[in-house]
């Protein structure tokens, strides 16, 4: 009887009531540059993301070459001249969030802070975000701006008026509970 009690106790302790870690390989990231000369938009639907509710951590990584543009020429210029995707293939973020995100369904505002790496340059960043709980899914969403100069991305004078000084970025990661 004592043995059975120990086995049951160990089983309960090992099985948390709700999953705390969530992951996806199909998150989405996009950026938008609006100027009077031209609008530039790109989307990447192959973002790897992980959110841990216990540790309050958030991370994502993406391949720069997976950004798709409306025009192939824009995509080629982005990969070859600006992002230098062969030399700097990934962008990534790792950080923590403040704010409570209970297991009950709902959308919860949080503040995210961490390190964003683009073009081989890592910067400390902070941004508002939301975490939405729906069953065994946790969706993280955020919007923020990036200054290409902060990440040593050189914009030639010839096209400088076609690219905004601040690029608007959106990330949407619908993560599933890891079981």
Specify the CATH number for the domain of residue 121.
2.40.128.110
**How is residue 178 written in tokens?**
């890891």
What's the average model confidence in pLDDT over 30-38? Answer: 91
Q: Are residues 114 and 96 in contact, defined by beta-carbon separation less than 8 angstroms?
A: yes
Is there a domain that residue 2 lies in? no
Number of domains, the chain: 1
* Bridge partners, residue 130, by sequence: 109, 141
- What's the mean pLDDT in 20-44? 94
In a domain, 76, yes or no: yes
Does 141 map to a domain? yes
Listed in sequence order, the residues at least 6 apart from 46 whose beta carbon sits closer than 8 Å to its beta carbon are 25, 26, 62, 63, 66
- pLDDT, residue 19, reads 61
Question: Which residues make beta-bridge pairs with 49?
Answer: 24, 60
Domain that holds residue 105: 21-177
Lowest-pLDDT range of 43-57, 139-153, 156-170: 156-170
Q: Return the percentage of the chain with pLDDT > 90, whole number.
A: 79
Confidence of residue 115 (pLDDT cuts 50, 70, 90): very high
In a domain, 10, yes or no: no
What is 26-85 written as a DSSP string?
EEEEEEEEE-SS-EEEEEEEEEEEEEETTTTEEEEEEEGGG-EESSHHHHHHIIIIIS-T
Average pLDDT of span 32-42: 91
Q: What is the DSSP letter of 8?
A: H
* Structure token pair of residue 124: 């400390």
Domain-located, residue 38: yes
66-95 per-position pLDDT tens digit? 999 999 999 999 999 999 999 999 999 999
| 15 domain-assigned | no
Task: Pick 16 or 135 by higher pLDDT.
Answer: 135
Domain for residue 29, yes or no? yes
Q: What integer is the mean pLDDT of 44-53?
A: 98
Is there a domain that residue 13 lies in? no
Confidence of residue 11 (pLDDT cuts 50, 70, 90): very low
pLDDT tens for 155-167 read 878 888 888 899 9
């Amino acid at each position: 009887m004592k043995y059975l009690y120990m086995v049951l106790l160990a089983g309960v302790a090992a099985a948390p009531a709700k999953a705390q870690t969530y992951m996806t390989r199909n998150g989405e990231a996009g950026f938008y540059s609006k100027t009077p000369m031209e609008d530039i938009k790109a989307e990447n639907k192959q973002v790897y993301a992980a959110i841990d509710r216990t540790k309050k951590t958030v991370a994502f990584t993406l391949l720069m070459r997976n950004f798709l543009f409306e025009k192939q020429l824009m995509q080629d210029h982005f990969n070859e001249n600006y992002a230098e995707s062969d030399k700097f293939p990934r962008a990534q973020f790792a950080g923590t969030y403040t704010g409570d995100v209970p297991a009950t369904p709902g959308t919860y505002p949080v503040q995210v802070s961490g390190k964003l790496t683009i073009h081989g340059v890592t910067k400390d960043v902070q941004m508002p975000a939301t975490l939405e709980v729906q069953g065994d899914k946790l969706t993280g969403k955020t919007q923020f701006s990036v200054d290409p100069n902060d990440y040593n991305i050189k914009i030639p004078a010839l096209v400088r008026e076609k690219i905004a000084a601040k690029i608007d970025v959106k990330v949407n990661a619908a993560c599933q509970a890891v079981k």
